[in-house]
Structure 1
């Protein structure tokens, strides 16, 4: 009986250790993904600023074309 219980506890301990290891791996992956996402967010183009610049350039070009005709 004692041997069977010890074997069962050893199996449960092994399963728990595996779950803890997988949890640690998942935590590391989440941390890595968060860091990569933060880097992408910092490096992205400032789209609203680019849109405003294109609009101003388009307006200036239109005014220039109108003035030269």
Structure 2
């Protein structure tokens, strides 16, 4: 029959395994923390870009109205000059 390994050797191997697992979990936790940080930065950038786009759209709305007003004014002036000739 085979002999069972001494309990000290099993305890040492389990301790090594535990250390390896703790190291692996610490590395995974660090990687996950980095991913969460990058996700937060991306969310902030998207919110900033959305706010900037809203500001641009809000400041741009009078341009078509002003263009239409200038066109009507030009047409009116042309008709008035043509009528007085």
TM range (shorter): 0.7 to 0.9
Q: TM-score if structure 1 supplies the norm length?
A: 0.86
Q: CA deviation at 1:64?
A: 1.8
Name which one, 1 or 2, has greater alpha-carbon Rg: 2
Which structure 1 residue ranges, 5 or more long, are not aligned?
none
Q: TM-score, normalised by structure 2?
A: 0.72
- Count of residues in Structure 1 that have an aligned counterpart in Structure 2: 69
Unaligned runs of 5+ in 2: 1-16
* 1:23 alignment counterpart: 39
Computed over aligned residues only, the root mean square deviation of the Cα atoms, in angstroms, reads 1.3
Which aligned segments of 4 or more residues in structure 1 are displaced greater than 3 angstroms? none
Mapped pair 1:58 → 2:74: yes
